[in-house]
Amino acid sequence: MSVFFCRNFSFFSPANGLRVLYFLSIIFLFWTTLPSALIFAKQSATPLPSLQAATGIWDMPTARVLPDWHLRIKYGKAEPYRYYGVALGLFDTLEIHGQFTEVSSLQGFSGPNNYGYYKDRSAGARLVLLKEKEWFPQVAIGAYDAIGTLLFPTRYFVASKKINDVDFTVGLGQGLLGGQTLASILAKTKRQGETFNTSFLFSSPFRQTRVFGGLEYSWSPKLTLSVEYSPIKYEGMFGGPEKAKIPVNLGIKYRPTKHIYLEAGYMRGNELALGLSADLPLSPQGILPWKKEKKYQADEQKRWRAYSSSEDKLAKLIGTELRDDGFAGVAVASGKESLWIELTNNKYLSDPKALGRIATIIDSLSPPHIKTFYINLLKQGQIRTSLQSSRKNLRAFMESLTDKKAFLTFADLNLYSAKHYKEFFNKNKKVSLIPSKYNWYSFELNPRIKTFLNNKNGFFKHKVILQPRLKLYPWHNGTLHNELEFPLYNEWDTLNFGPLEKEPTVTDLNEYEKHSSPRVSMLALEQYIELPYNIMGRAAAGYFETSYAGVGGELFRYFKNGRFGIGLESELARKRDPEDLFRLHPTNKHNYLTGFVNLYGLLWPQKGLEAGLKIGQFAGGDFGVRTELRRSWKYFTIGAWYTHTNTNNFTNPKNIGNQEKGVYIRVPLSIFANHDIRGHLLYVFSSFTRDPGQMINQPTSLYPLDMYDSVDYSKRHLEEMRKER
């Protein structure tokens, strides 16, 4: 972000004198409503929504940001603009926001089409530099629509201070906030029309700058009065609204419920404004309150059976009890004084919570001669979490008689199980691992919505499908993936979108998605392999997705309890026939080959900040790097990626120089349930569909590691073991 310097600064020019008087008179009216003895507010101001998705007054930003992991969903209207957007607060110091702006004064495309009014998508961010203190304001910098098509570009430096019930804001703006017209901004930018144009964001700080400001008065906890001075030349904006009669926007913001805001305002002296927003704290307990899980308590009959059982029968009894409690892939071995348990946590979002539930069950059932427990959590056929603890130490921790530090002093929690495996089976050489009743299949039914944005024949085009997936487990660590698609509603057959290359990677997707008949989208065999030195392996062959068939393989190794990792990955595939997915494409006989080095790092464990690099050859033969940054918190994940590749091997101008980028959010399924439930929904929002930077989807992947499955996370959140109690 450029540092702001003021050149051509004309707030005190004669032309602005009347505007300043308007603004100061409004401030004076509000000031007279304050008590005569001003006391600085001890609590920070509420980050109220602007007319757009970002926190602000009306058109002006403030230095406020949404709290960490709070989401805002927003609709605002002040003709000719209609805003549909979202904003997210991160770390209590950063707010990111994005939206679609519909311009009712312009048609999207000439000629007959279903697109409607012109629509622009844009994004912005605000970073708090200094937090508000008793005598000092909160200070932030930010930018909006500063990368891309540059239809509404702004940069700003802003400060806000709350005094009693009034939150004051003053700032310096550039771009539209600097009083420039869109034409004058674009005249000084380079590479106009590019989808990733950074010329404004990193332009010289010595450009036209204007003062903006305003205040918000909390009349009551539910009602806020807002007024701002705007330096924007509205008549010079994209879409050409009327010239402002006065440079002041004002109105009210009303909160009828805890998370809902209604807004009504009068903009620039000639336009009414309306807004509706929902500000929601993200939590795994979402729509429905969770029911408290019944505490496990073994009855006397089960206890007696366990106490009188042989080692093998005890292993079978405990394995059955864990399986009946909801865990999968359970296998148990019982020695003279210890138990070895392997299973998959398919029950809880939290691995520590799963460890706590398992500990409660085996402690309740095991006879007194069992002194040590080995609890191992599996994922993708390999142990990812291995806990060794004495029964006495584990019970003391579960009953809160010792803290986490004391527990880990005498227990051992590792990423891999080799040390614990040798320790247990060297002491119990004749003991065998006894699996509970084998689950040879699993079934899930997933609804999906595929959305294509910004097509000439319609801004939103949807395909709604029902996607049943049957997984068969014919042998150890082997999976046969069977997936069908049943379209329930399909608008993709009306898209005006065709391949950009003779041998496209993804721009031929409509040839596959336009069909409305049931189809086999995936039929693939996958095998997980345990290799020496704790290296995980995966190999797959078959129909991977609707458009590709082939083979793929992956190796990965984690270090430092899952903090870091490195791996190799490659796929070789051909296109499937869009008319008959069980055949290969009759004309496109190109072999799509990928090869990557994958790097993973948990950069800031306490805040869930992760990063990944994928370096190598992508499906189109373009070589480059895909950089991914994501943040996981409260079992939600938001991430973004940017792919930079050499596009010289492409022929279409839309592909040459294009860099793939996008954002995604992963939402825990538990927000739709009344109890803790494993699994997530993933929604991806990518840039324009182009052929560079594309990958071939696999049934599953080893990279990147899910932070919540790492030993590093389990150690830092070990107290969650007690939640089961």
Q: 305-309: which pairs have CB atoms within 8 A and are 24 or more residues apart?
A: 306/365, 306/366, 306/367, 307/367, 307/368, 309/367
Q: Tell me the DSSP string of 105-142.
A: EEESSSSS-S--EEEEEEEEEEEEEE---SSS-EEEEE
Q: Tell me the DSSP string of 514-535.
A: T--S-EEEEEEEEEEEEEGGGE
Q: What is the pLDDT of residue 146?
A: 85
CA-wise closest residue to 307 among 334, 344, 343, 346: 334
Q: What is the pLDDT of residue 399?
A: 93
Q: What is the pLDDT of residue 195?
A: 54
Q: Are 561 and 710 in contact (CB under 8 A)?
A: yes
5-281: which CATH topology? Porin (2.40.160)
Residue 265: how many other CB atoms lie within 10 Å: 23
Pairing between strand 271-281 and 70-78? antiparallel
Q: What is the pLDDT of residue 21?
A: 41
d(CA 409, CA 300): 34
Cβ partners under 8 Å of residue 436, min gap 6: 316, 319, 320, 322, 323, 330, 331, 332
Q: What is the pLDDT of residue 683?
A: 82
Q: pTM for this structure?
A: 0.84
Q: Provide the residue ranges of all domains of the chain, joining segments of one domain with +.
A: 5-281, 300-438, 441-711
**CATH class entry, domain 441-711:** mainly beta
User: For residue range 446-481, what is the model confidence (pLDDT) as tens digits?
Assistant: 888 888 888 888 888 889 999 999 999 898 889 999
Residue 320: how many other CB atoms lie within 10 Å: 15
Residue 208: how many other CB atoms lie within 10 Å: 18
Q: What are phi and psi of 279, to 5 degrees?
A: -105, 115
Q: What is the pLDDT of residue 40?
A: 41
3-class state of residue 572 by DSSP:
strand
Q: Are 275 and 224 in contact (CB under 8 A)?
A: no
Which stretches of the chain score pLDDT less than 50?
1-42, 192-193
Q: What are phi and psi of 259, to 5 degrees?
A: -120, 5
Q: What angle do CA 718, 719, 725 make, to 5 degrees?
A: 120
Same fold, 5-281 and 441-711: yes
Pairing between strand 338-344 and 372-379? parallel
Q: What is the pLDDT of residue 420?
A: 94
Residue 247: enclosing H or E segment and its boundaries? none
d(CA 379, CA 381): 5
CA–CA distances in Å: residue 189 to residues 101, 117, 146: 22, 26, 11
